[in-house]
Structure 1
Amino acid sequence: MGSGVSDRLDVLDEPAPAAWSTTEDRAPVEQRVRLYLNALGVQDSQETEVLVRRVIERVEFRATLGQLGEPLEVAIEETHRLLDRWLVAELGLESDPDQISAARAAVLGGHVPGWTRRWAGLSEDSLTESIRAVRFQAVPEHAPLTMEPNPIRLCCHRLVRRLAARVLRWLGIRGRHHASAEVQA
């Protein structure tokens, strides 16, 4: 009964795939993550190192699970996940995509000073009020529309009926049933 659980945990002991097994493979990914974090606004080297370490740990974890794929793409995905998880925890959100997007826009837009230090875990000062004060809204606003049902009219079905009526007329076979079918079509 419990063998399924232990089978799933055994993958954690398996070695990482060859594409991620050497430090030469990690160095370019780490460098690209540093550049990416810099583009996101992380300027301090101490903050960068903390965040790069966290991202690389997540990439290594996915490699042990056999879910690595392209290491650089996974590293960028994990950077975004790390940012979104921090925003959810910092603001106490319920994974509302609009609120997460608004919070992400606030911090990445440079409207909240010191957010990178807090994201890296190097500051104890809460930024919840600062992030919420920016109040970005999702654009465009939600405008759900109702759709009227549209009956499906198959063109070939009507075509076959018309063609059959013409063939019967050409052959000289006319009946009330066939004539009515042509009128309805």
Structure 2
Amino acid sequence: MGAGVSDRLDALDAPVPAAWSVTDDRAAVEQRVRRYLNALGVHDPREIEGLTPQVLERVEFRATLGQLGEPLEVAIEETHRLLDRWLVTELGLEAEPDQISSARAAVLGGHLPGWTRRWAGLSEVSLAESMRRVHFQAVPERAPLTMDPNPIQLCCHRLVPRLLARIGRGLGIRRRRA
């Protein structure tokens, strides 16, 4: 998968114990996930019911590793990871972060009607070709610049001659310049 999309465990922050087992926390996280899915454009209750357990399962997995942190923030992170994984699977990508960004912009920008149904697993119709047709430039064209060499002048490079010259001036000895 592309950089930024991969779900490596080593990218998770240091373990922070969380009170995930508390029912109130679980309910608050579930509510946050539902509201966030709604903000992403997932409005059908069946789609929300299909995606919410997947996100909660990923949050629970991080909790079992002791790497949960703030559960409400992790819920949003995991929702994005779930979306990115789906995009990678849908498009059959390997390491193409620009295409993933473009596909994310296409679906979240409302350019592909019915994408939420496919994301939730309620549709068998592939959206890969539609996503590829709606191409957004994620970043400006790559334009590497040439860099002129910059000479490095070390602070102590001429220290000894300067020090000797000062001592000589202090003693009244003038140095001849060649």
TM-score by length of 2: 0.82
Kindly provide the amino acid, as one letter, of the partner of residue 147 in structure 1: M
Runs of 4+, deviation exceeding 6 Å: none
Cα pair 1:47 1:116 within 8 Å, conserved? yes
CA distance change for structure 1 residues 87 and 18 in 2, over 3 Å: closer, same or farther? closer
Which residue number in structure 2 is paired with residue 45 of structure 1? 45
Which residue number in structure 1 is paired with residue 103 of structure 2? 103
For 1:61-103, what per-residue CA distance to the aligned partner results, in whole angstroms no more than 9, with x for missing partners? 1111111111112111111110011001000111311110000
Which residue number in structure 2 is paired with residue 136 of structure 1? 136
Cα pair 1:87 1:103 within 8 Å, conserved? yes
Kindly provide the amino acid, as one letter, of the partner of residue 60 in structure 1: E
CA distance in 2, matches of 1:108, 1:25: 28
Q: Which stretches in structure 1 are left out of the alignment for 5+ residues?
A: 1-16, 181-185
For 1:82-130, what per-residue CA distance to the aligned partner results, in whole angstroms no more than 9, with x for missing partners? 0011001000111311110000000000000000010011111111111
Q: Which stretches in structure 2 are left out of the alignment for 5+ residues?
A: 1-16
Cα pair 2:18 2:69 within 8 Å, conserved? no
Which residue number in structure 1 is paired with residue 62 of structure 2? 62
Residues 129-168 of structure 1 mapped to structure 2, 5 A cutoff: 129-155=129-155, 157-158=157-158, 161-168=161-168
Which residue number in structure 1 is paired with residue 12 of structure 2? none
What CA RMSD, in Å, does the superposition of the two structures yield over aligned residues? Answer: 2.0
Specify the SS of the correspondent of 2:147: coil
CA distance in 2, matches of 1:141, 1:34: 37
Identity of aligned residues (%): 79
TM-score by length of 1: 0.79
CA distance in 1, matches of 2:106, 2:112: 7
CA distance in 1, matches of 2:18, 2:149: 54
Larger Rg: 1
When you count helix as a share of all residues, which structure comes out higher? 1
For 1:147-183, what per-residue CA distance to the aligned partner results, in whole angstroms no more than 9, with x for missing partners? 232121134544674354133222134556xx56xxx
Kindly provide the amino acid, as one letter, of the partner of residue 23 in structure 1: T
User: Which deviates more from structure 2 when the two are superposed, residues 112-121 or residues 138-147?
Assistant: 138-147
Specify the SS of the correspondent of 1:19: coil
Aligned pairs, number: 162
Specify the SS of the correspondent of 2:59: helix
Cα pair 2:29 2:72 within 8 Å, conserved? yes
Cα pair 1:91 1:128 within 8 Å, conserved? yes
Cα pair 2:55 2:78 within 8 Å, conserved? yes
Which residue number in structure 2 is paired with residue 21 of structure 1? 21
Structure showing greater relative contact order (alpha-carbon pairs closer than 8 Å, 6 or more residues apart): 2
